[in-house]
Amino acid sequence: MSKVRVLVGTKKGAFILTSDGARKRWKVSGPHFAGWEIYHMKGSPVDPDRIYASQTSGWFGQIIQRSDDGGKTWNAPGSSAEEQKSPDGMPKGESNKFVYDTSPETGRPLTTHQWYDGTQHPWEFKRVWHLEPSLDDPDHIYAGVEDAALFESTDGGKSWYELAGLRGSDTGPKWQPGAGGMCLHTILLDPSNPKRISIAISAAGAFRTDDGGKTWKPINRGLHSQYIPDPTAEVGHCVHRMALHPSRPNTLFMQKHWDVMRTDDAGDSWKEVSGNLPTDFGFPIDVHAHEPETIYVVPIKSDSEHYPPSGRLRVYRSRTGGNEWQALTKGLPQRNCYVNVLRDAMSVDSLEPCGVYFGTIGGQVYASADAGDNWKPIVRDLPAVLSVEVQTLP
């Protein structure tokens, strides 16, 4: 019988929730890395027991952790006794070394970006927001970081190098931090075209490469953002999250800082599909595992009031790829609920029917085993949830 493993990153550690395919009884393991912020964990699609975790702290910086046994044990890649020595005898310990590439051969000069007050500010690495293992090699993984850049490792996370063409594109000086920082938080790999990657940055917008990361172009045509001087500017849009269904990689869905959007031409043009949502502000967006036109969002009242409208926690589902939305409320608190759901804190499993999962900053992780019709908390008193990823296991 299939199993489900839910990887939960929180403000104070990681938790791993497991169940059989019925998704009724859950075992909770953790906290792993107690006291550390776990921004994101994700497993390799080709080796589900290979899981990567972004462990971070404002005091002590970035750590990359890796498990090769499904989360039972963890190690910083490259830190074993055999691996840790460089030829001069010093430890390498470089799995947490994220240095912007300024080399003449492959890199770009370290320029500036816009700061909150409109001045220019130098690029500074702060943390890894999102880890995206490649679709065909467990040792190959991408990392989206703050200040916004894309890094890649091809040795299982032991060493990282920047795909500098993105940060070095002409628009870099116009990028600016959102309230949470200038982060690259979404990495979408195209299963039909290994050279194509789409990413999103808050607050710069969406970008796409068609040559494996050497060159990038903004893909923000059709976005409209009242909070920037030119609402239809090429960059500067605060994209909160994007998602795709693997069977239709040219269709991307986007939850923006106001507006839910879709594109059917891989981002060359976007149209709004907010439709009848009670508010089109929010953070996560995800796609049903088996229905490419069924999508989920969690409407949040506004950019200044990060909680559900009217204190009612409602997931909205569209079975028409947007515009027509249905509130899903069964099992979710419908009074006095003022939690937020962060951008990386929603995921789906691939069982039948599709399971949908999300975590809140109040520490609840809710699950639906019937595509959103009914919900139950798996666990309800964790630290604030930063990310939720789901693995469907044989």
Partner 1 sequence: MIRVVLPPHLRTLARVDGDLQLEVKTPVSQRSVLDALEVKYPMLRGTIRDHVTKLRRPMVRFFVCGEDLSHESPDAPLPDAIAKGTEPFLIIGAIAGG
Length of the chain: 394
State which residue, 35 or 122, has the beta carbon closest to partner 1: 35
CB of 181 to partner 1, least distance (A): 15
State which residue, 157 or 333, has the beta carbon closest to partner 1: 157
Would you count residue 357 as binding partner 1 (CB under 8 A)?
A: no
Stretch that binds partner 1, among 95-103, 136-144, 186-194, 383-391 (CB under 8 A): 95-103
List Cα–Cα distances, 150 to 115, 288, 303, 315, in angstroms. 20, 27, 27, 31
Would you count residue 319 as binding partner 1 (CB under 8 A)?
A: no
CA dihedral 167, 389, 317, 291 (to 10 degrees): 90
Stretch that binds partner 1, among 83-91, 139-147, 173-181, 211-219 (CB under 8 A): 83-91
CB of 295 to partner 1, least distance (A): 35
Tokens describing residue 340: 């937020």
Judged by CB under 8 A, the residue of 22, 34, 46, 179 near partner 1 is 34
CB of 279 to partner 1, least distance (A): 29
Would you count residue 63 as binding partner 1 (CB under 8 A)?
A: yes
CB 308 within 8 A of CB 347: no
Judged by CB under 8 A, the residue of 21, 61, 191, 377 near partner 1 is 61
Judged by CB under 8 A, the residue of 29, 57, 73, 103 near partner 1 is 57
> How many residues interact with partner 1 (rule CB under 8 A)?
22
Would you count residue 59 as binding partner 1 (CB under 8 A)?
A: yes
Judged by CB under 8 A, the residue of 33, 258, 296, 316 near partner 1 is 33
CB of 38 to partner 1, least distance (A): 12
Partner residues linked to 256 by β-bridges: 239
State which residue, 62 or 176, has the beta carbon closest to partner 1: 62
Judged by CB under 8 A, the residue of 22, 46, 60, 193 near partner 1 is 60
Would you count residue 84 as binding partner 1 (CB under 8 A)?
A: yes
CB of 114 to partner 1, least distance (A): 22
Binding residues for partner 1 (CB under 8 A): 33-36, 57-63, 76, 79, 84, 90-94, 96-97, 99
